[in-house]
Amino acid sequence: MIQIDRRTLPRGNYEKAGVERRQVFDIQICRWVTEYQAEILIDKTSGNRYIAPFPEEIGKAVQYGKQLKAHAVYMSQYQLIPYNRVQEFFADQMGIPISEGSIYNFNMEAYKKLKTFEVVTKENLIDAPLLHVDETGININGARHWLHCATNASWTYFFAHKNRGNKATDPEGILPSFRGVLCHDHWKPYYCYSECLHSLCNAHHLRELTRSWEQDDQKWAKSLRDFLESCNGAVHDAGGKLCSEDSKKNWQAYRSILKAAEIECPPPDEKDRKGKRGRLKRNKSRNLLERFIKFEEDVLRFMDNEIVPFTNNQGERDIRMTKVHQKISGCFRSMNGANIFCRVRGYLSTCRKQGMSSSEALTLLFNDELPDFAK
């Protein structure tokens, strides 16, 4: 309490009228050492020594604590800070020397502790009504690999593989068993999974239609782009699903645009075959048009199914931090490092979706506990 120096006040009859508050938020970063002392007894007759048992988790004369491990994993796997800079942080801020090898061991320990959680994540994604999938290229020790993502609003699963298509996704077991709606960007191997419905990302379509309009001067592309944007707005205003009458009108409008597009952007003339076998080459605009014709239900599924979004942004958002990792670190040194990143990152992403902070999630993990939602 800061007192008023009444000697500085003019003469008068004063009474207390409360206080005025100002607050200063600060932090104190320090090293915290807990020493365990075990009593030693010696039998004077036999000379045998007896030592009181230490707690089970105290197995060495000097070791790192759970909070330190959780913080190191948080910095390297969530904040994507390189190992050497994490090492510098602990040395400079807290006077704790930690080798890069120890930081790797902390991450590997977290990876092993999350084995059960990974199984739970897969089960929940398989049973979900909606699933977003995406993939992006990564560099592992100089070689091209792919980081795959299967996700929704509640769960996130990452895995790394040298392949991009079904050779990678089949062994993971999620997509072969999935029976809901699979949202993606028309990467053709996803269509091998025929037991589920498909929904195409219209954010990609809008970009491709814009390119077709601006670079190929395709008027139908602008019309279809405007139609999709208008339809998305109407679905949003309707609360996620159009009534049957409005849906019917939109289907008619969609097919009308494509009918006009067939005239403006026809397929290659068979006269140009000149002995060539197979399918004649199409330009980008024609290929795009044929996709809209062939996969019309998957393009407009967002219009009639309220759980289906207009875009695949959920998958793209979840996988975006992989690109940030590559910009910072350049590549993964090994497949083990990529696997650690995928499992820990998937766990932290899922916990945040469930309303739990990354720090709390890692503290639970190093205490050998899993969040309630995963039990």
Residue 270 confidence (pLDDT): 59
pLDDT per position as a tens digit, 358-368: 999 999 999 99
Alpha carbon distances (Å) from 339 to 114, 158, 344: 12, 9, 8
Helix (H) or strand (E) holding 370: none
Domain count, the chain: 1
The answer as to whether 344 is a domain residue is: no
The answer as to whether 298 is a domain residue is: yes
Burial of 170 (0-12, 13-18, 19+ CB in 10 A): middle
pLDDT per position as a tens digit, 291-340: 999 999 999 999 999 999 999 999 999 998 887 887 777 778 899 999 99
The answer as to whether 90 is a domain residue is: no
Range of the domain at 236: 202-267+283-311
Helix (H) or strand (E) holding 157: strand 156-161
**Helix spans in 42-130 (H):** 66-73, 83-94, 100-113, 115-127
Q: Is the per-residue pLDDT at 272 higher than 80?
A: no
Output the six-digit token pair for 220: 């139908």
Q: Is the per-residue pLDDT at 210 higher than 80?
A: yes
User: Whole-number mean pLDDT of the chain?
Assistant: 93
Closest CA to 287 of 251, 307, 261: 261
The answer as to whether 119 is a domain residue is: no
The answer as to whether 289 is a domain residue is: yes
pLDDT per position as a tens digit, 182-207: 999 999 999 999 999 999 999 999 99
Contact 133, 185 (CB under 8 A): no
Of the listed ranges 7-11, 102-106, 260-264, the one predicted with least confidence: 7-11
The answer as to whether 82 is a domain residue is: no
The answer as to whether 214 is a domain residue is: yes
The answer as to whether 302 is a domain residue is: yes
Residue 273 confidence (pLDDT): 61
Closest CA to 239 of 312, 303, 314: 303
